[in-house]
Amino acid sequence: MDPFALIAAERRSLADALDGLGADDWNQPSLCGAWTAHQVAAHLNAPFAVGKGTFVIEIVKARGSFDKANEKVAVDLATRLDPAGCVEGLRANADSHFTPPGFGPEAPLTDTIVHGGDILQPLGRLHAVAAEALAISLPFLTSAKARRGFGAVDAEGLQLAPTDLDVELGAGARVEGPARSIICALAGRTPFLDDLTGPGVEILRTRR
């Protein structure tokens, strides 16, 4: 399947899930640093709602730190784009082919999957993610590029065995569980480690 079609489908699916959130839910802490659920949703809209020039200016202000600039952009955007606007933005821009510099479609696809978990998991909710999307995101997060650009956890010495995909990655101490939980754990979201089993889980936990 075309990866951009998968991205579009995942954005629309996440938007449908976010439709069910109440006003208080949007102010709850997410799994993404200090961001609230609303700020994470704003971040997902940043590629469509914030020009490249703004990012460049914020990076300069942050003395070259992309992470600090990215955080500032998301927090500022959340003050201008309410939760309903964030949800509508995901739908309206679902077909966008934006990719971060140096990355392909696996990056925005993974961003959508992981940030969906960031918002919904603390609220006791999750939505279904297509197996085809998970099958692209998982190997991406084991790559050196993802470790550099996404801050992914090093999976060296681990055998990743998602129970809902017909694939195993790597060799070493075994980690079993739902593919999304492995993906989110590799992205540094430690609550998802509780969904996983095997001797590799504690190794993964120490790599934060």
Contact 157, 173 (CB under 8 A): yes
Is the pLDDT at 9 greater than 60? The verdict is yes
Tally of CA atoms within 13 A in the half-sphere of 194 that contains its CB: 4
Is the pLDDT at 187 greater than 70? The verdict is yes
Give the tens place of pLDDT for each residue, 128-146.
999 999 999 999 999 999 9
| E strands in the chain | 158-162, 173-177
Is the pLDDT at 52 greater than 80? The verdict is no
CA angle 192–194–196, rounded 5-degree value: 85
- In 3D, which of 104, 102, 96, 121 has the Cα closest to residue 44? 96
| E strands in 21-122 | none
When divided into structural domains, the chain yields a total of 2
What pLDDT, on a 0 to 100 scale, did the predictor assign at position 67?
Answer: 65
Its domain, for residue 138, covers 131-206
Same domain, 53 and 136: no
Q: Looking at residues 98-108, what average pLDDT do you find?
A: 92
Strands 158-162 and 173-177: parallel
What pLDDT, on a 0 to 100 scale, did the predictor assign at position 101?
Answer: 84
Is the pLDDT at 201 greater than 90? The verdict is yes
Domain boundary among 68, 89, 123: 123
Give the tens place of pLDDT for each residue, 144-159.
999 988 889 999 999 9
Same domain, 114 and 140: no
Same domain, 59 and 82: yes
* CATH number of the domain that residue 154 is part of: 3.30.1050
**Average pLDDT value over all residues in the chain:** 91
Same domain, 13 and 99: yes
